[in-house]
Structure 1
Amino acid sequence: MTPTSPEVRVPDREVPERNPAVPKHVPESLEPSASPEPSASPEPSERLDLTEAGEWKGVSPKYVVVEIVGTIVNAVVVCGGASLLWLLLDQTWAMWVGILVLVISIINLVFEPRRVRAIGYLLRGDDLLFRRGILFQRFVAVPYGRMQLIDITRGPVARWLGLADLKFVTAAATAGVSIPGLAEGDAESLRDRLVELAESRRAGL
């Protein structure tokens, strides 16, 4: 009878708990280790708030006179022509055209001060920002490096009031942008400043 060898007992080992979220067929070495949560990705930069882009500079309050005179002159010319057609040639449609132009002109006269206050410009790092309009606002950004022509114009009424318009044309634009109603001294200073900025940008400084 063969003697039986004494039974060797293997001590129990602690089996680490398996992550229940990981399937059983995945090796333990591939189980995701606890790590700090990744930091949230930076949010995209917000749009530039044009109302808080900087300190806007407005035009001269005297520019209201220029706009009022222009509106009255246009209304007188159109209404006068419509009246002649109605009275001399008995054209009834001309009477309605004259009435319509008169009503529109009166509305424009009421809103002229508000429209003038809505005009403004802002010198930024790389461009000039121009705005105008009440109900339908228009914002135009003109890069300094693309300015090719900077001109000062004066109408008869504006010259009498000591005002001037600053007009600049860029390389890509077919029509220029004009800042109206500037005091003559401000228009000349702004022109010299824009010429200096345009030359420095074109030179790559």
Structure 2
Amino acid sequence: MDRLDIADADWTGVSPRYVWPELIGWIVTGLVAAGATMLFWFFEQWWAYALTAAVVVAFALVAAFTPRRVRSIRYQLREDDLLLRKGVMFVRFVAVPYGRMQLIDINRGPVVRALGLSDLKFVTAAASSGVTIPGVPAADADALRDRLVGLAESRRAGL
């Protein structure tokens, strides 16, 4: 397979249940931001109310597009690397070579754990790479971690 040929690839998506932790996070953030703008209401000016309304509308739009954004998170295990795709309007592809993987960490926060999900975080030889696959079912995350650790060890042994 050509390394740049990603259009016909077989992608694996994250769990649809991952929408809930994302929605909860955006809603809580939106409520806090809207509450902070309410402090300006003491000025009793039209712009203070407009600011709060704009914050509420902005966070409502983000929350409305969250399910589509979660559906866009996909990953693929290729011959030499793991390819991660994120984004709807601004699509980001990240390729993590197996031989560069140093640590594969499984994170399970309280909301994600309650839904039976996990986040896989990859630590690589590059200091600035913060690659995470969120919303992977817990059993799949353990199996995927074990498989990737095996691939990483075999690739590093060949270096």
Same structural fold, with TM-score higher than 0.5 when normalized by the shorter chain:
yes
Q: CA RMSD in A?
A: 1.9
Distance 2:97 2:21 in 1: 29
Q: What is the Cα deviation at residue 102 of structure 1?
A: 1.2
The structure with the largest strand share of the pair is 2
**1:158 alignment counterpart:** 112
Q: Name the % identity.
A: 59
After superposition, the C-alpha distances for 1:20-76 in whole angstroms (9 at most, x for unaligned) are: xxxxxxxxxxxxxxxxxxxxxxxxxx8733221x21000000011111111110001
C-alpha contact 1:152 1:187 (8 A) present in aligned 2 = yes
Distance 1:188 1:100, change over 3 A: same
C-alpha contact 2:122 2:132 (8 A) present in aligned 1 = yes
TM-score by length of structure 1 reads: 0.71
Unaligned runs of 5+ in 1: 1-45
Distance 1:141 1:133 in 2: 15
After superposition, the C-alpha distances for 1:59-101 in whole angstroms (9 at most, x for unaligned) are: 0000111111111100011101111x12346586654443222
TM-score by length of structure 2 reads: 0.90
- 1:191 counterpart (135, 138, 145): 145
Distance 1:200 1:91, change over 3 A: farther
Q: What is the Cα deviation at residue 105 of structure 1?
A: 1.1
- 2:53 counterpart (79, 93, 99): 99
Unaligned runs of 5+ in 2: none
Distance 1:171 1:92 in 2: 53
**2:96 alignment counterpart:** 142
Q: Helix, strand or coil: the match of 2:16?
A: coil
Distance 1:141 1:132 in 2: 12
Structure with greater contact order relative to length (CA < 8 Å, sep ≥ 6): 2
**1:128 alignment counterpart:** 82
- 1:81 counterpart (9, 31, 36): 36
Which protein shows a greater Rg?
1
Matched AA of 1:200: S
1:201 paired to 2:143: no
Matched AA of 2:98: Y
